[in-house]
Amino acid sequence: MEQHRQRREKLMSKIGSGTAIFRSAPTAVMHNDVEYNFRQDSDFFYLTGFDEPEAVAVLAPHHEEHQFVLFVRPKDLAKETWSGLRSGVDLAKEKYGADEAYPINELDEKLPLYLNKADRIYYHFGRDRGFDAKILAHWQRQLKQYPKRGTGPIAIEDANMLLWPLRSIKEPEELNLMRRAVELAVEAHNLAREMAAPGRYEYEIQAEMERIFRLNGGSPAYPSIVASGENACILHYVENTRQMQAGDLLLIDAGCCYNYYNSDITRTFAVGGQMSAEQKTIYEIVLEAQKQAIAQVKSGNAYNLNHDAAVRTIVEGLMDLGLLQGDIEEIIKEEKYKPFYMHRTGHWLGLDVHDPGPYKIAEDSWHILQPGQVLTIEPGIYISPHLKPAEDQPEIPDRWQGIGVRIEDDVLVTVEGCEVLTAGVPKEL
């Protein structure tokens, strides 16, 4: 509770006389009347620790009595018998530290109390059209009353512009949870490498990896990708139904979610233990690209340097093989490498696998890395049999086709440089 309170304090110090509104995650239907497990919205969780649906959090630092207000599902014995205990308004105050709490069905009636003296509303549009419309309707009513009252919000600003920079720098307690998420994923990847063998199915590997997550109170951070043979050339291959053959590469991109925090690891290796000369060549280029990218992760460096380093290493490698031809600067500038490497080199990591946070801070300038930020470094080369070379570029000889390699680590920016959190899974050939 104290940790969440401190985060709200930090956010409120930026809100001034405004009011910020955050909504819990929507529920999602799996089929008919069965729902997916509920997972709280990461922004909402970060600020409140409250993990139930149908909730709204209001931060109103200018309000005389209630700076933090929660709207929650009321206690309801019959409903709780079916779908679990609810905190209700009393615990919203006692356990989650709300200055005031109301049943969610009183939102329309009570929200104006926290808007009519605010100078602006902070809210993030785009997650739920119905709720967006509700916020706009409240704002319109406030604007109508403005001439007679002389107070009220005259603008809406994106709440996340204030919140995401906070989420971007991980607190020690957050890093502990991320290290645990990493530990479980490392164990799973190391087991996967032992297990993989010709004749096994991709889903067998997936099952054993996810078993480790579940046995330790975790869960998959995202649908696990266990991609053998040319499936490795499909970036988000999640069917995991193929039977592996000797001579395949196996690309596994699987991470663990532990107490809301995520890891995200990719390794690629030979199913029978022995790579072909072509597989090895491509692997070594990706490994070198990944190392060059990691070398650019240090406090004070611009965010794009790691991607630029990975791209240059990949282009040089593919040019050496004759798979890209021409002038290196032109290939990079015109992105002629993109049929082989079509994604960026990483993303922020945290409560969300693709954690929010700044990449660019102006048209031509990139975010400067700061200690406490965690990002992935995950270059790859994908030579799909369906690959269409860029204009003026050669056709791909058969022997290269079907090779897909990605290597992904999770990297913490430190004062001295960086720490590769996921170093426990080998990546040297």
Q: Of these, 222, 234, 278, 417, which contacts ligand GLY (CB under 6 A)?
A: 222
Comparison of 248 and 253: residue with beta carbon closer to Mn ion = 253
Is 354 part of the annotated catalytic residue set? yes
Residue tagged active-site, from 179, 193, 343, 344: 343
Is 264 part of the annotated catalytic residue set? yes
Is 189 part of the annotated catalytic residue set? no
Per-residue x/- track, 394-413, ligand GLY (CB under 6 A): --------------x-----
Compute CA distances 188 → 56, 210, 265, 424, whole Å: 37, 7, 10, 11
| Least distance CB 223 / ligand GLY (angstroms) | 8
Residue tagged active-site, from 253, 355, 409, 410: 253
User: Which entry of Mn ion, ligand GLY, none binds 222, CB below 5 to 8 A by partner kind?
Assistant: ligand GLY
Does residue number 253 form part of the binding site for ligand GLY (CB under 6 A)? Answer: yes
Is 347 part of the annotated catalytic residue set? yes
Is 109 part of the annotated catalytic residue set? no
Comparison of 43 and 253: residue with beta carbon closer to Mn ion = 253
Is 138 part of the annotated catalytic residue set? no
Is 236 part of the annotated catalytic residue set? yes
User: Which entry of ligand GLY, Mn ion, none binds 174, CB below 5 to 8 A by partner kind?
Assistant: none
| Least distance CB 146 / ligand GLY (angstroms) | 45
Name the residue number minimizing CB distance to ligand GLY. 253
Comparison of 52 and 378: residue with beta carbon closer to ligand GLY = 378
Residue recorded with tokens 């909730």: 55
Three-state helix/strand/coil letters over the chain: CHHHHHHHHHHHHHHCCCEEEEECCCCCEEECCEECCCCCCHHHHHHHCCCCCCCEEEECCCCCCCCEEEEECCCCHHHHHHHCCCCHHHHHHHCCCCCEEEEHHHHHHHHHHHCCCCCCEECCCCCCHHHHHHHHHHHHHHHHHHHHHCCCCCCEECCHHHHHHHHHCCCHHHHHHHHHHHHHHHHHHHHHHHHCCCCCEHHHHHHHHHHHHHHCCCEECCCCEEEEHHHHHCCCCCCCCCECCCCCEEEEEECEEECCEECCEEEEEECCCCCCHHHHHHHHHHHHHHHHHHCCCCCCCECHHHHHHHHHHHHHHHHHCCCCCCCHHHHHHCCCCCCCCCCCCCCECCCCCCCCCCCEEECCEECECCCCCEEEECCEEEECCCCCCCCCCCCCCHHHCCEEEECEEEEEECCCCEEECCCCCCCCC
Does residue number 202 form part of the binding site for ligand GLY (CB under 6 A)? Answer: no
Task: Give the whole-angstrom CA distance, residue 253 versus residue 407.
Answer: 9
Comparison of 224 and 301: residue with beta carbon closer to Mn ion = 224
Comparison of 230 and 378: residue with beta carbon closer to Mn ion = 378
Comparison of 160 and 263: residue with beta carbon closer to ligand GLY = 263
Comparison of 301 and 422: residue with beta carbon closer to ligand GLY = 422
- Count residues binding ligand GLY (CB under 6 A): 7
Window 289-348: residues binding ligand GLY (CB under 6 A): 347
Does residue number 264 form part of the binding site for Mn ion (CB under 5 A)? Answer: yes
Question: Do residues 244 and 198 lie in contact, with contact meaning Cβ atoms separated by under 8 Å?
Answer: yes
Residue tagged active-site, from 33, 64, 109, 398: 33
Is 173 part of the annotated catalytic residue set? no
Q: Of these, 174, 248, 264, 352, which contacts ligand GLY (CB under 6 A)?
A: 264
Is 382 part of the annotated catalytic residue set? yes
Question: Do residues 232 and 268 lie in contact, with contact meaning Cβ atoms separated by under 8 Å?
Answer: yes
Question: Do residues 384 and 232 lie in contact, with contact meaning Cβ atoms separated by under 8 Å?
Answer: no
Window 135-194: residues binding ligand GLY (CB under 6 A): none
The stretch near Mn ion (CB under 5 A) out of 129-137, 189-197, 213-221, 405-413 is: 405-413
Q: Of these, 100, 174, 230, 253, which contacts Mn ion (CB under 5 A)?
A: 253
| Least distance CB 265 / ligand GLY (angstroms) | 9
Comparison of 52 and 408: residue with beta carbon closer to Mn ion = 408
Residue partners of 67: CB distance under 8 A and separation at least 6: 8, 12, 59, 60, 61, 99
From 206, 174, 177, 164, select the one nearest 189 (Cα to Cα): 206
| Least distance CB 414 / ligand GLY (angstroms) | 22
Does residue number 409 form part of the binding site for Mn ion (CB under 5 A)? Answer: no
Binding site for ligand GLY (CB under 6 A): 222, 253, 264, 347, 353, 378, 408
Residues taking part in catalysis = 33, 236, 253, 264, 343, 347, 354, 378, 382, 406, 408
Binding site for Mn ion (CB under 5 A): 253, 264, 266, 376, 408
